[in-house]
Structure 1
C-alpha cells in the first residue's frame, strides 16, 4: 500500500481544469504547432512518464491537422517519486538522431524548468537545429530557469501541488482525466 493514498489526496484537492478544458487547450496548441512546423517532420520527443497522456492527445490533434511526426521518447527525471528535484538522472535517451532535425519536446508541466532546460540543452548538443517545448501546463510563478519557457503552453496552473493528466501524486493519479490541485 502506498504511504500517501491517492484517495486521501483527492479529498483534499479541487479540480482546476476538467477534461473538456484540457482537450480544448490541446486542440488550440495543435493549430499553432502545425503552423510552425508545416513543411517538416519534427522529431516528437515525449518526456516520460508525465508527458505520455498529453503527448498522445496532442499527437492525434496534430495528425488530424495534417502534421506528420517521427516519434521517440526520453526518460529523464530529477524527482524519482519525490516532491522536490535533485540531480538529473537519464533512464532512456532517444534512439533517433537529432542532428539537423527540428525537435518538439512534449511534457506535462513546466514548473521551474530544470529538467526541461537540461534536456533541451542535451538535444542541442546532439545537433538539433531547433528545439521547441510543448507543455500541457505551466505553473504560475517567477521561479523558472532563466531562458526556459514553453513555446506552446496549454494551461496555467496555480503555484500549488498539482496532479492528474500525466502529473503524479506520489507516482499515482497520472491517468486522471483532469488536473487537480491540493488545497
Structure 2
C-alpha cells in the first residue's frame, strides 16, 4: 500500500525535482468561483490545490502550452487573456517560475484530466473543480498555492501583478 501511495511523489521528484522549471498557469473564473486542480505527491501533506497549468515544451509558446495544459488537465478549451503575474514556486526539491494568465473557456467539458508525463499508477491529478474563495482559503496554507496568501477575495487574485516572491 505504501509503495503505491509513494508512486506519485517519486514521479514528481524524478520528473521535476532539483531543476528549475517554467510553468504556464491559467486563472479561469466562473462567477464567484475559480477553477482549481488538486494534486497529490506535492507538499508536506501530499495534497496541493492550484490553478491549472504545467510546463512548456521546448519550442512551444507560452499561450500554446497553456491551451494544451488546460485541455489535458480539465477538458476545457480556452483562449488566453492578459498575462497577470509571475510567481516563484520554491518548495525544495521543487523550483518553478510560473507565468499566470487570465483565461476564458471557449468549449470542452469540465472533467478531471491526466498528466501525460506521469505513468498510469503515478497520476497526480486527484480532482478538478470550481471553488469559492472561502473554500480555497479554508484549506491549510501549505495545501493551496502561495498566490492566495496575497489575496482577500477572488477579485484580488485577478489584480495581482508583477513578481510574487
Q: Tell me the TM-score range normalised by the shorter chain.
A: under 0.3
The structure with the largest alpha-carbon Rg is 1
Q: TM-score, normalised by structure 2?
A: 0.27
